[in-house]
Amino acid sequence: MAELAKNTSDIVKVNSEAEQTPAWKEAWRSFCRNKLAVVGLGIVIFFIIVAILAPVIAPYSFKDQELSKRLLAPSSENWFGTDDFGRDIFSRIVYGARISLTVGFFAVLGSSIIGTMLGIIAGYYGRWVDTIISRIFDIMLAFPSILLAIAVVAILGPSVQNALIAIAVINIPNFGRLVRSKVLSVKQEEYIMAAKAVGMKDARILLRHILPNSMTPIIVQATLAIATAIIEAAALGFLGLGAQAPTPEWGKMLADSRQYLVQAPWTLFFPGLAIMLTVLGFNLMGDGLRDVLDPKMKQ
């Protein structure tokens, strides 16, 4: 009996400690158990630090030209070599991290805010409101995303800012449809019906109940969408519709160097590697967040 009582006491103690553990700590522990997700987080943090400390890390200015040093191979003086204008590729990649991450973060921020608002309105009110918003999403999704982005930039004009706007626009339907489907299930919960029964206003229900309970898929989608946005920004830059010279955007660097593929392959290799690693980091981190935050994945 004494041993049974001791075991019971230990079980109660463990359960009590588990209940006292904050949810975010448990989520962080689960995230850390996913080694690939931790690697992805490390890559993302590395590029963020590089972007913030670009003036300190870069040995040269990204726009300094020295034609006598054009297309030099990687060396101790120029770690990643030089391009066709004699500019240091390492410095341009370091400064380019600022452009790519800025476009990725703010494009996804804008699309997530607008898409979430439209998705919540469509899912909560339904009927003709849902029909109109859903048809708008369907029309936007009917076009290949890169073609829609090209159309937006063609209207606004080629620049980094307009590329950011275009990428934000084409990602709105992804967030809108995701949030709409979540809201359709959440609004059927008993606590939402109880809030309506006591006369709570719609705005308060949306902000205090619907939105907080729809944040999990939004966070996961946003993390994965940043990777997609970086690729789309590079694609627009490659086509000459994004950043303009001498801005050191990775896609633009690839476009400017493609004619030197055989003569100076490092001019394409290092910008392409930077894009690949950044996108890989966000994808791995997003997969880890999905595993932690999605109840279906936990099961």
Question: Torsions phi, psi of 248, nearest 5?
Answer: -85, 65
Task: Please state the domain extents for the chain.
Answer: 98-240+255-298
Task: Give me the mean pLDDT over the 69-98 stretch.
Answer: 89
Contact 220, 286 (CB under 8 A): yes
Q: Distance between CA atoms of 145 and 169, rounded to whole angstroms?
A: 10
Q: Distance between CA atoms of 114 and 133, rounded to whole angstroms?
A: 12
Q: What is the pTM of this model?
A: 0.84
Give the fold, CATH level 3, of 98-240+255-298.
MetI-like fold (1.10.3720)
pLDDT, tens digit, for every residue of 2-37?
A: 554 444 454 444 444 444 556 667 777 887 888 888
Which of 142-151, 228-237, 242-251, 267-276 has the least mean pLDDT?
Answer: 242-251
Task: Give me the mean pLDDT over the 214-239 stretch.
Answer: 89
Quote the radius of gyration of the chain (alpha carbons, Å). Answer: 24
Strand partners, 82: 88
Cα–Cα nearest to 275, from 96, 82, 42: 96
pLDDT at 34 (0 to 100)? 84
pLDDT, tens digit, for every residue of 107-124?
A: 999 999 999 999 989 888
Contact 82, 70 (CB under 8 A): yes
Q: Distance between CA atoms of 131 and 224, rounded to whole angstroms?
A: 27
Q: How far is CA 264 from CA 72, 80, 170, 182, 231, in A?
A: 8, 11, 35, 50, 23
Q: Distance between CA atoms of 264 and 83, rounded to whole angstroms?
A: 8
pLDDT, tens digit, for every residue of 132-149?
A: 999 999 999 888 888 889
Contact 143, 150 (CB under 8 A): no
Place of tokens 């809030």: 195
| 109 vs 260, higher pLDDT | 109
